[in-house]
Amino acid sequence: MQNLGFAFAIDPALRRLYPDRAERLEALRRHLGFFNCHPYMASAIVGGAIHHEERVAAGLEPRDGPLHYKSTLQGPLAALGDAFFWTALRPFAGALAAAGALLVGWPAIAVAVVLYNAVHLTLRAGLFQAGYAGGDAVVARIGALNLQGLADRLRAGGAALCGVAAAAVVLSAERAAGLAGAILAAVSAVVGYLVLARGAGLVPITYAAVIAAVSAAAVVLHLGGGG
């Protein structure tokens, strides 16, 4: 699935390690087998695979050493990356952008984007370096980061920010259309939460939310004009 990308990433190191073309091609073919991992966490495996390829080139371990390293780590790191980045950091950044945009305007969105990219780029660079320097020892380094614990805190923070955003929407509606607008906004927020909690697909819910938001805006404007 990601074998071509992995081979492309490791190819510069293989060119340095194996000046002989036949040996280099053999090493490159080793990395064209199945590989699938979280794209951010994969940097640790790329760095570690280079570490093991250096040992292979020096005659310190068998040629299948890098493959064992990859196959052992790709599954656990994929699960860890999904849990931290996709279900914690990214939703937190999105909630921060939404709440911030409602309270202070568009600069909050820029801050959230910068924050998200700063975290994942720093982690990717650090994981690559840790994998390259330590090989199998990268497992202990990743464990020391306590990404699962950080993910739990980010989810809690994201939930709090969603509450702030919902409150901001309700207050905005109340200022625009009085109590009726505030009630409409609050009911919309609760319904949206309940639908998502029951496992509804995000894409259809997004379209439905856009339609509902346009309709609600029309109602609020009408109520505001009538008041």
Q: Write down the mean pLDDT value for the chain.
A: 83
Domain boundaries, the chain: 159-227
Examine the pLDDT at 105 and tell me if it is beyond 90. no
- Name residues whose C-beta falls within 8 Å of residue 203's C-beta, 6 or more positions apart in sequence: none
- The 3-state secondary structure of 98-142 reads HHHHHHHCCHHHHHHHHHHHHHHHHHHHHHHHHHHHHHHHHHHHH
CA angle at 30 for the pair 126 and 39, rounded to the nearest 5°: 35
Give the Cα separation of 97 and 136 in Å (integer).
38
Q: What percent of the chain has pLDDT over 90?
A: 56
Average pLDDT over residues 120-125: 96
**pLDDT tens digit string along 27-43?**
999 999 999 999 999 99
Instruction: For residue 140, give both structure tokens.
Output: 């202990």
**pLDDT tens digit string along 43-53?**
999 999 999 99
The answer to whether 130 and 44 have CB atoms below 8 angstroms apart is yes
Quickly state the pLDDT bin for 164 (edges 50, 70, 90).
confident
Please state the pTM of the whole predicted model. Answer: 0.77
Examine the pLDDT at 89 and tell me if it is beyond 90. yes
Q: 7 or 216: which carries more pLDDT confidence?
A: 7
Output the pLDDT for position 47. Answer: 96
Average pLDDT over residues 185-193: 61
Output the pLDDT for position 104. Answer: 85
